[in-house]
Amino acid sequence: MSIVAVVGRPNVGKSTFFNRLIKRREAIVDAVSGVTRDRHYGKSDWNGKEFTLIDTGGYVKGSDDIFEHEIDKQVELAIDESDVIIFVVDVTTGITPMDDEVAKLLRKHNKPVCIAVNKVDSNKARQDAVEFYNLGLGDYHCISAINGSGTGELLDEVVEKL
């Protein structure tokens, strides 16, 4: 089963996106137990391809001030165990230092990455999204995890890379 991990700093909308996509939750306790409490697993499929989706950072309390190394750990795990990574960022805040940190880690590896610029709920936001080219990871998809817009195009790219 292919694995797709959703990474990014807190509050960008990872869990909203995850919950929109999954059909059933999995209680996978695998070799990386000890860290699984920080992660939610679910099954999804798109264009006839099934995959396991991992929502990272799920149980972190006071997630606004999550330690940066916690995110780094999640990203490194995702790089290790997933086939494709969805890197979620937030158009309403623009690029933050923590986003840059995640991007730096992802650029060091060859793992396929799809960027989801979330909270794009207006045309203004769509224009603002161009700044995310500066993450140095190529093109991005504008999505709204809340209303689902853009998520189909994003998933087209994700399953193409599986």
Given the rule CB under 6 A, which residues bind ligand GDP? 8, 10-16, 63, 118-119, 121, 144-146
| Residue 146 contact among Mg ion, ligand GDP, none, beta carbon within 5 to 8 Å by kind | ligand GDP
Shortest distance (Å) from residue 16 CB to ligand GDP: 3
- CB burial of residue 136 (10 Å; 0-12, 13-18, 19+): exposed
- Region class of 81: left (phi > 0), else alpha (psi between -120 and 50), else beta: alpha
CA distance 99 to 130: 15
| Residue 16 contact among Mg ion, ligand GDP, none, beta carbon within 5 to 8 Å by kind | ligand GDP
Shortest distance (Å) from residue 154 CB to ligand GDP: 12
Closest CA to 94 of 58, 64, 120: 120
Residue 15 found at the interface with Mg ion (CB under 5 A)? yes
| Residue 74 contact among ligand GDP, Mg ion, none, beta carbon within 5 to 8 Å by kind | none
Could you say which residues in the range 55-84 bind Mg ion, by CB under 5 A?
none
CA distance 26 to 22: 10
H/E segment holding residue 93: none
User: Is 65 marked as a binding-site residue?
Assistant: no
Q: Indicate the residue among 8 and 42 with the shorter CB distance to ligand GDP.
A: 8
Binding residues (CB under 5 A) for Mg ion: these are 14-15
